Structure 1
Amino acid sequence: MRGAARRLLLLLLLAALLPAAAAPAQIPARTLVSSAGPDRVALTVYRDPARDKDAFIDDDADEPLKGYALITETRIVDLPPGPVTIRFEGVASGIQPETAILVGGDPAEKNQDRLLLSERGLIDAFTGQHVTLRRADAATGKVIEERARIRSSSDGIILETARGFEAVHCTGLSQTLLYPGVPPGLSAKPVLSMTLDAGSGGRRTLTLSYLAADFDWQANYVGHLSADTGKVDLFAWITLASRDDVSFANAQTAAVAGQVQRVTPDGQGISDYGDEEEAYYSTTCWPQDTTGSPPYTRPLGPDSYPELLARAAERDGDYGYGWGGGEGGDEIVVTGARIARQEDLGDLKLYRVPFPVTVAANAQKQVALLSAKKVETELVYRTKVHENDETVEWLLRVHNRKGDGLGMPLPMGQIALFQQGFGRPMLLGETAIEDKAVGEEVEFVFADAQNVEVDAEYLGEVGASERHRLDVANANPFPIRFEAEFQDRSYTRYDHFSGRIVRREGMNVWRVEIAAGGRARLDYRETDIEEEEEDELDEVTGS
């Protein structure tokens, strides 16, 4: 009996403990904390790695920019004790959430709320549903409203009405979509949320860093060529561009020059992150204006020297050069404290803006990059004989060193060259350069020369060589420096020059001064290397 009583008592005790053991552990509730915006922000913009030196930043607001930015936000938040979810409101709309790093907290989870209160968000939310289409009647011009259903495609917004299917904004008349309400879950600001593990709570300073798409920058140079000395005053802007929906006020801003290697999310190959698919809505309609070609404009070039005056009209300041604001083309005056400071960033170059600037949403901002006075230059007329082209180009050659007035890394960009004429700056030409390091020779190649002609004359053969004569005529009322380049190939060699030749960048170069209205002549041979080797072999073998 005693053994049975003990077993019964043990079973009763186990039964009493089982509910407690089977009950699930209580999960602490997570508190939601919102941060409305950053207290401080820093913005570092990286160029579109695929954009060519000759290309301007695309000014089509419907096209995404292919550069990106590293954004660092400092936010001060009050956190309760225990686990908490923080909503970071006002992050860049182009944020790449997988790149987000939080300093000052230990995130266990992060999420991006992409449902924004925007045209895109509303179209996404109401696709397949009915909305109200308000538009002007094509016949009467009277504003009418009718019921429509959104049927969108990758090429644009398609509406289904009682009249059938039609594209939005293709009539040339005003059209507006009216929605019955705000769909649940849409946020007026981009939001990134992060969940932190349990903590002691209190006021925290958090630093959030992430990459965001839809940014870009470029350098725009302005040169003023002196008619008296031939020297150039060189000024440059950093043009920052943002297609993001968020503005960054009083941001510590910088721009990075150089190629940054990035990989696709799956790690397979290099990517500029510019090809990520985004649902940008646009309409494709027949053109409303002419479909003809634009009028031809003669290439700009120097017609006289020392007063090089372009015949074309002066260019308005809509190309991003910003060459001055006065009636007669006032000189740009920027103090050194307002010019971007260049720093090394590994193998890259970083240009830091020394004062806070506001990078507005869907806008551009220009900041001074450099200001160099009386830079030594060399005006050269040049032809490239090895390209079998008698075209003569004119260029300005600059040595990027302090002794010549420069001596700083020059980022890729476009340059507009001006010279004073008729009491105002006149445009001589535009061109572009690649990234140039300190100590490099920089050539600004502007246009084909109008008053310098080259004639290549065939004089006959000598064995495996052809004899040629290069005749150069200078129709300018001033003397010029002329260069002819001869680049040997694997199958061709140039030799037997009748004039003085110098070696420059692996090429033979004939450099000569030609007087005003004068001529110069050079005889040379062009040898077919394969034919020459065959002739030598025949001599050895006696065949």
Structure 2
Amino acid sequence: MLRAALFATACVAAASAAPVSMALAQTAPKVSVTIYNSNLALVQDQRTIDVAAGRQRLEFKDVSAAIRPETVSLSSPTLGVVEQNFDYDLLTPDKLMEKAVGRQIKIVRTNPGDGKETTETATVLAANEGVVLKIGDRIEVLRDDGVPTRVIFDKVPETLRARPTLSVTVNADKAGPTPVTLSYLTSGLSWAADYVALFDEKKGALDLQGWITLQNNSGTAFENAQTQLVAGNVSQFNGGGVRGVTSAGTEGSDRERIADYYIYPLPERTTIASNQSKQVGFLSAQSVPAKKVYEVREYGFSSDENPQKAITAIQFSNSKLKGLGDQLPAGTMRVYMRDQAGDPKFIGENAIGHTSAGSELSIKTGEAFDVSSQATLVSQEKISKTRSRYVMKYLVRNARPEAVTVELRQAGLWRDGKVTDESLPSRRIDARTLAWSVPVPANGETVLTFTVDNGW
């Protein structure tokens, strides 16, 4: 807008409006921030302030611009809260002009030729999609015409704040230093886990490094804050599945918990700057047993027109026995392997959900060029009203110079579905899924056949 260009060089000659009563901190605030996964954080600010006896207004600057005012709580042994207000109408050139409608300001223009300044008193008539002024007997639109212009205001309106400010009206029993704790919920703070896995196929092991990524879009910095991260999905009013876990764990750990959530405290206080992304390490494990697998997943009993490429995945466990023994908070896992020169190369990534200790994980890294499967529905027969029989054949091919094993998973079973005949032994993964480990020779193929009586 035209006025934005003018206001970028505008100066404001004004005295700040003084609050009814200003309480100054005697001690530096001790800030604690608890960040949840769901764009939510709990901020707790402890400090000691000087108060006067009786009714007064306390101001807390630098609270989050994304504060939820209805969640604010101010606690103190000697203060009674009467009223609280969150002032988030921030001081900007545009806002200054909007608040000046109906009032007088001064317009100072500089002659580019001789540098002389001309000052005129103007009344602001409107500040909608442009600024309309009345100067003497003429009406003028403030515009960017190349003439250096300054706008001078006599004061800053009381309703405008340089920073988001929470004001609380209280009654104090007595004057003097008083400890207070300010607590509130805010959006704009979030965190996620990022994992780096270096996989060694020959050794059948991986090294795993975990990072916590903090994101602060609340509009406010939190200085020297004690920070805790809560893993779990907290229910919020009015607030797909993630692939990765093939078998949920049952192990516990020594990690601190609250309710049904796990807490990850950062080891030392940290400053979370506004509009900042910060990473902190929280997990390091070496030589965790792992293996590369080829997987094929089918979701019904039908024929494939074309061969289906197998996916490649890295499987491992986060059990104590396998060297981890800790919960893995939701995040993205990136997998690397070393090339012939020994340099790590990225081979794929996938997301995991919150994963309890003792779980089996399968991290998809991509699709296999040389391993495929093609399904054929040999026959389909209706046995009764509630039962059908399917005869399936899978042709699994391997164009690699070494033998591989393909994990083939067949979903689509009904409540009473069962295998009546099969060329390789199957195992039940869950109520609706069967699995076969299909060995395929180098540069060869294997045919898997099975018959399923499906029903409910």
TM-score normalised over the length of structure 1 = 0.62
Matches within 5 A, 1:292-371: 342-371=255-284
Cα contact 1:35–1:75 (8 A) shared by 2: no
Residues 1:513 and 1:179: Cα distance change in structure 2 (over 3 Å): farther
DSSP-derived class of the 2:397 partner: strand
Partners of 1:379 and 1:424 in 2: how far apart? 19
Determine the structure 2 residue equivalent to 1:406. Answer: 324
Amino acid paired to 2:370? N
Shift of 1:368: 0.9
1:243–1:361 Cα contact (<8 Å) kept: yes
Partner AA of 1:237 in structure 2: W
Please give the alpha-carbon distance, in whole angstroms, between the structure 2 residues aligned to 1:430 and 1:193. 47
Q: Does 1:447 align with 2:447?
A: no
| Cα offsets for 1:474-526 (capped at 9, x unmatched) | 12233322111123433994621111112223332111333332322211124
Q: CA deviation at 1:205?
A: 1.8
Deviation, structure 1 residue 230: 2.2
Aligned to 1:477: 401
Specify the SS of the correspondent of 1:449. strand
1:468 aligns with 2:392: yes
Tell me what 1:271 maps to. 238
- In structure 2, give the amino acid aligned to 1:184: P
1:88 aligns with 2:14: no
Contact 1:251–1:358 (8 Å) recurs in 2: yes
- The 2-side partners of 1:394 and 1:131 are apart by 71
The aligned residue for residue 502 of structure 1 is 427
Q: Which residue of the other structure, out of 33, 36, 45, is the alignment partner of 1:43?
A: 33
Q: Deviations over 1:151-182 (max 9, x none)?
A: 3xxxxxx5589xxxxxxxxxxxxxx9986546
| Structure 2 CA distance for partners of 1:436 and 1:123, relative to 1, 3 Å | farther
CA distance in 2, matches of 1:407, 1:205: 42
Task: Give the secondary structure class of the aligned counterpart of 2:321.
Answer: helix
Alignment of 1:104-503 (within 5 A): 104=76, 105-118=79-92, 121=95, 125=99, 150-151=127-128, 159=130, 180-181=152-153, 183-185=156-158, 186-262=160-236, 270-272=237-239, 342-387=255-300, 388=302, 390-421=308-339, 422-460=341-379, 464=383, 465-490=389-414, 493=417, 495=419, 496-503=421-428
CA deviation map 1:336-364 (0-9, x unaligned): xxxxx942111011111010111001111
User: 1:189 deviation in Å?
Assistant: 2.0
- The question of whether the paired residues in 2 share the 8 Å contact of 1:399 and 1:439 is answered with yes
Structure-2 separation of matches of 1:76 and 1:197: 16
Distance 1:232 1:208, change over 3 A: same
Q: Give the partner amino acid of 1:41.
A: V
1:221 is displaced (CA, Å) by 0.9
User: Distance between the aligned counterparts of 1:414 and 1:216, measured in 2?
Assistant: 15
**Structure 1 residue identity aligned to 2:430:** E
Q: Which amino acid aligns with 1:94?
A: A
User: Does residue 443 of structure 2 align to residue 524 of structure 1?
Assistant: no
**Structure with more strand by fraction:** 2
Work out whether residues 35 and 88 of structure 1, in 8 Å CA contact, stay in contact via their aligned partners in 2: no
* Inter-partner Cα distance in structure 1 for 2:397 and 2:429: 23
Q: How much is the aligned-residue C-alpha RMSD, in angstroms?
A: 3.3
Q: Shift of residue 222 of structure 1?
A: 0.8
Tell me, what secondary structure is at the counterpart of 2:179? strand
Please give the alpha-carbon distance, in whole angstroms, between the structure 2 residues aligned to 1:220 and 1:108.
45
Secondary structure in 2 matching 1:511: strand
Return the alpha-carbon distance in structure 2 between the equivalents of residues 177 and 435 of structure 1: 58
Q: How many residues align?
A: 375
Query: Structure 1, residues 232-279: CA drift from partner, whole Å, max 9, x if none?
Result: 1111111111112221111101111212122xxxxxxx223xxxxxxx
Q: Distance in 2 between matches of 1:244 and 1:430?
A: 29
Unaligned runs of 5+ in 2: 1-18, 108-123, 133-147, 240-253, 384-388
The CA distance in 1 between the partners of 2:198 and 2:149, in whole Å, is 51
In structure 1, C-alpha distance between the alignment counterparts of 2:101 and 2:262, rounded to whole Å: 46
Q: 1:32 aligns with which of 13, 21, 25?
A: 21
Given the superposition, is the C-alpha separation of residues 34 and 394 from structure 1 closer, same or farther in structure 2, using an over 3 Å criterion?
A: same
CA distance in 1, matches of 2:183, 2:290: 44
3-state DSSP of counterpart to 1:401? coil
Name the SS for the 1:415 alignment partner: strand
Counterpart Cα distance in 1 of 2:202 and 2:229: 36
The CA deviation at 1:125 is 4.3
2:198 counterpart SS class: strand
> Using the alignment, how far apart are the partners of 2:425 and 2:149 within structure 1?
75
How far is 1:76 from its partner?
Answer: 1.7
| Identity percentage of aligned residues | 28
> What letter matches 2:181 in structure 1?
T
Q: Match of 2:292, as an amino acid?
A: L
C-alpha change, 1:79 and 1:466, in structure 2 (3 Å) is: closer
Partner amino acid, structure 1, of 2:362: E
Cα 1:515/1:102, change in 2 over 3 Å: same
For the residues of structure 1 that align with 2:273 and 2:416, how far apart are their CA atoms? 56
- Write the distance in 1 (CA, Å) between the matches of 2:149 and 2:356: 53
Structure 1 distance, partners of 2:149, 2:376, is 70
Counterpart contact for 1:31–1:83, Cα < 8 Å: no
> SS in structure 2 opposite 1:187?
coil
SS at match of 2:256: strand
User: What TM-score do you get using the length of structure 2 for normalisation?
Assistant: 0.74
Matches of 1:119 and 1:450, distance apart in 2: 60
What do the CA deviations read for 1:198-220 (whole angstroms, capped 9, x no partner)?
Answer: 31111112111111121111111
Instruction: Give 3-state SS (helix, strand or coil) of 1:33's partner.
Output: coil
Once the 2 structures are TM-superposed, how far is the Cα of residue 397 of structure 1 from its aligned partner? 1.9
**SS of 2:69's equivalent?**
strand
